[in-house]
Amino acid sequence: MAAPLGFWITQADMVAFSLHLQQTVPRLKRTSLGARVVLTVLGAGLGLWLARPVVDAIQGESVPTDGDPSRAAVLLVCAVVFAILFWFLWPSLERRAAVRTNRRLQRLQQTPAEQPFQLWLDDFGLHCVTETSNSVTAYSAIDRIDETPHYTYIVLSPMRAFVIPNDRVDPAALASFLAELRQHAPQTGVPRDLR
């Protein structure tokens, strides 16, 4: 059996998992993209609404503005600029929402901001021990293992996973642990959608 993995989990690790879900679970990915498009369209509308009085003030009231192509071009440029700004603003809004949601969950569950985790494998499954809990997860309950440069996620369902911060674990121990875990719980690598 592989050596147990011991590490600390922080609030930032849980936020990283929430953002990982947004990028890997198909339904959440579609929802996030839809919200981003709506925000972009609203940003374009805001750009038009804010630019119209400015353009009218610059051109003055004595100049007819209804059919003026330069006025339309200025309004269009403002709408496009605002749409681009709002498109690139979305990831920071999504991250902020994930941070707030995780803080609320932490307060409701009365868990510390940082807590030690220990994972190990045996014939029964994957064991997890924290300061407040002790659990065993059967190998058949493991959906997939997602590896990113900073984290390894042992995904149990679309909304639940064991988060392993790669920088707080010995790389050789992590590789050995994951190799043994994959022998017991072969993964498809295809994320399940929320049902």
Confidence at residue 67, expressed as pLDDT on a 0 to 100 scale:
61
Give CA separation, 99 vs 14, 41, 68, 95, 191, in Å. 9, 25, 47, 6, 23
Higher pLDDT, 2 or 21: 21
Give the confidence band of 195 by pLDDT, cuts at 50, 70, 90.
very low
- Strand arrangement of the beta sheet that strand 160-165 belongs to: 144-147, 151-157, 160-165
Q: Are residues 130 and 168 in the same domain?
A: yes
Under a CB-based contact definition with an 8 Å cutoff, are residues 82 and 43 in contact?
A: yes
Best CA proximity match to 21, nearest among 178, 181, 143: 143
Does residue 187 register a pLDDT over 50?
Answer: yes
Q: Are residues 105 and 24 in the same domain?
A: yes
In a domain, 195, yes or no: no
pTM metric for this prediction: 0.72
Under a CB-based contact definition with an 8 Å cutoff, are residues 164 and 148 in contact?
A: no
- Choosing from 94, 109, 124, the residue where a domain stops is 109
Does residue 88 register a pLDDT over 90?
Answer: yes
Domain count, the chain: 2
Give CA separation, 92 vs 17, 20, 162, in Å. 15, 14, 24
Q: Are residues 77 and 126 in the same domain?
A: no
| Count of C-beta atoms within a 10 Å radius of residue 118 | 13
Domain extent, residue 153, equals 5-11+113-184
Beta bridge partners of 146: 153
- DSSP assignment of 74-111 equals HHHHHHHHHHHHHHHHHHHHHHHHHHHHHHHHHHHHT-
Confidence at residue 192, expressed as pLDDT on a 0 to 100 scale:
54
* pLDDT, mean of residues 43-56: 84
In a domain, 189, yes or no: no
- Please count the helices (runs of H) and the strands (runs of E) in the chain: 4, 7
Under a CB-based contact definition with an 8 Å cutoff, are residues 145 and 180 in contact?
A: no
Q: Are residues 95 and 163 in the same domain?
A: no
Give CA separation, 12 vs 66, 100, 141, 171, 191, in Å. 52, 11, 26, 20, 23
Q: How far is CA 100 from the centre of its chain?
A: 13
